[in-house]
Amino acid sequence: MKVLNFGSLNIDLVFSVEHFVREGETLASEKMEKFCGGKGLNQSIALAKAGAEVYHAGCVGDDGGILLEMLETSGVDTSLIRKLPGPGGMAMIQVDKQGSNCILLYGGSNQSVSSEQIAKTLKQFAAGDLLLLQNEINGLKEIVDTAFDRGMVIALNPSPVGKQLQEIDLSKISWLILNEIEGQELTGECKSEKILEKLHQKYPGCRVVLTLGKKGSVYFDGTELLHQGIYSVPVVDTTAAGDTFTGFFLASVMRGETPSKALEIASKASSIAVSRKGAAPSIPSMEEVGVFDLKPVG
List, for residues 124-161, the tens digit of each pLDDT value.
999 999 999 999 999 999 999 999 999 999 999 999 99
Is the confidence at residue 102, as pLDDT, over 80?
Answer: yes
Angle at 52 between CA 256 and CA 61, to 5 degrees: 145
The answer to whether 292 and 267 are in contact (CB under 8 A) is: no
What are the respective helix, strand and coil percentages of the chain, to the nearest 5? Answer: 35, 25, 40
Phi, psi of 245 (to 5 degrees): -60, -50
Give the list of residues 6+ apart from residue 74 with CB closer than 8 angstroms, or none: 44, 45, 48, 49, 280
What's the CA gap between 267 and 269, in Å, rounded?
Answer: 5
Helix 192-202 vs helix 180-187: crossing angle, to nearest 10? 50
For the chain, list the domains and their CATH numbers.
3-21+30-290 (3.40.1190.20)
Preceding amide of 204 cis, omega within 30: no
- Per DSSP bridges, beta strands 77-83 and 207-211 are unpaired
Q: Is 221 a catalytic residue?
A: no
The answer to whether 158 and 132 are in contact (CB under 8 A) is: no
- pLDDT number for residue 284: 96
- pLDDT number for residue 238: 87
Is the confidence at residue 263, as pLDDT, over 70?
Answer: yes
Burial class of residue 121, CB neighbours in 10 A (0-12, 13-18, 19+): buried
3-state class of 263 per DSSP?
A: helix
The answer to whether 240 and 283 are in contact (CB under 8 A) is: yes
Provide the mean pLDDT of the chain: 95
Q: pLDDT tens for residues 3-35?
A: 999 999 999 999 999 999 999 999 999 999 998
Q: Half-sphere exposure (CA, 13 Å, Cβ side) for 59?
A: 23
- pLDDT number for residue 295: 86
Q: Which of 12, 77, 237, 243 is catalytic?
A: 243
What's the CA gap between 47 and 186, in Å, rounded?
Answer: 26
Segment 60-87 mean pLDDT: 97
